[in-house]
Amino acid sequence: MSTDTQQAKASGSFLLGGDRPVTRLGYGTMQLTGPGVWGDPKDPEEAVRVLRRAVELGVDFIDTADSYGPIVAEQLIKKALHPYADDLVIATKAGFTRSGPGDWRPVGRPEYLRQQAEMSLRHLGLERIDLFQLHRIDPKVPLAEQIGELKLLQEEGKIRHIGLSEVSVDQLEQSRAIAEIASVQNRYNIADRSSEKLLDHSEAHGIAFIPWFPLATGQLAKPGGPLDTLAERHGASPSQLALAWLLRRSPVMLPIPGTASVAHVEDNIAAAGLTLTDEEFAELTAAV
């Protein structure tokens, strides 16, 4: 097997939930749908090629959600990759309803979460979902009921591990009192570190931290900016440097950059081979 097919492996591995190894640099499917994360992609065949190329390059952790499309992203994954390799981990989410482009409404009623888990099993062609994440905590439903239903699904063997998305340290701890939580997924990138406390807390407890919107670089990538300067030094793109910074930031970090382009997925995954020196990491950390 050529090194080209193992690029992502250079990012290292993480034991999800203590028993499911994943390569740390993964792929997120949000951009595989139409505008506003609604409907089919402009080029469905390119979407299939992107998924296959990501896996070919060593990605074995793919993040999706029932609300992407809705349903569209999950069905594209099945079309592109089923039957799945034994080491491929597909993480999906439930907890949002959709009524149009850009419209997201949290629904955490236990019967709804159960229905969506069953639908994701069908749409993905799985017998068990390795990581099933509560897409948002529904403020209208007691947290214990939302997490409790996911725990029941886990006990029934329909999901392997439970994850959360967009939560605080307090919400994570409340959830951990009900069930074991394997991962959290909050917005986090080199320019937006508002979830720093949650990241540190997750690292201390061996919980995977999945940063969504990982490639946002703000003003750091402008000409002459610190990301731009370092990218030139490494012969890399600012996006690659942003991913390299995330991977260096914490051993529990699992970045999932998304794209609808084969060229971009290849560029993103090449970031796994970049190594920042202590000085470079400190320079970028201090730049915000």
> What CA–CA distances, in Å, run from 157 to 147, 149, 206?
15, 13, 23
DSSP state of 72: H
- Asked if residue 91 lies in contact with residue 120, where contact means CB atoms within 8 angstroms, the answer is no
In CATH, the number for domain 3-286 is 3.20.20.100
Q: How far apart are the first and last CA of the chain?
A: 41
Structure tokens at 56: 């070919």
Rounded to whole angstroms, the Cα distance separating 250 from 268 reads 18
In the chain the beta strands, taken as DSSP E runs, fall at 13-16, 20-23, 27-28, 61-63, 89-94, 96-97, 105-106, 129-134, 159-165, 181-185, 208-209
pLDDT of 217 reads: 82
Residues marked active site are found at 68
> Tens of pLDDT along the chain (288 residues)?
344 778 999 999 999 999 999 999 999 999 999 999 999 999 999 999 999 999 999 999 999 999 999 999 999 999 999 999 999 999 999 999 999 999 999 999 999 999 999 999 999 999 999 999 999 999 999 999 999 999 999 999 999 999 999 999 999 999 999 999 999 999 999 999 999 999 999 999 999 999 999 998 878 888 988 899 999 999 999 999 999 999 999 999 999 999 999 999 999 999 999 999 999 999 999 987
Query: Hey, where are the domains in the chain?
Result: 3-286
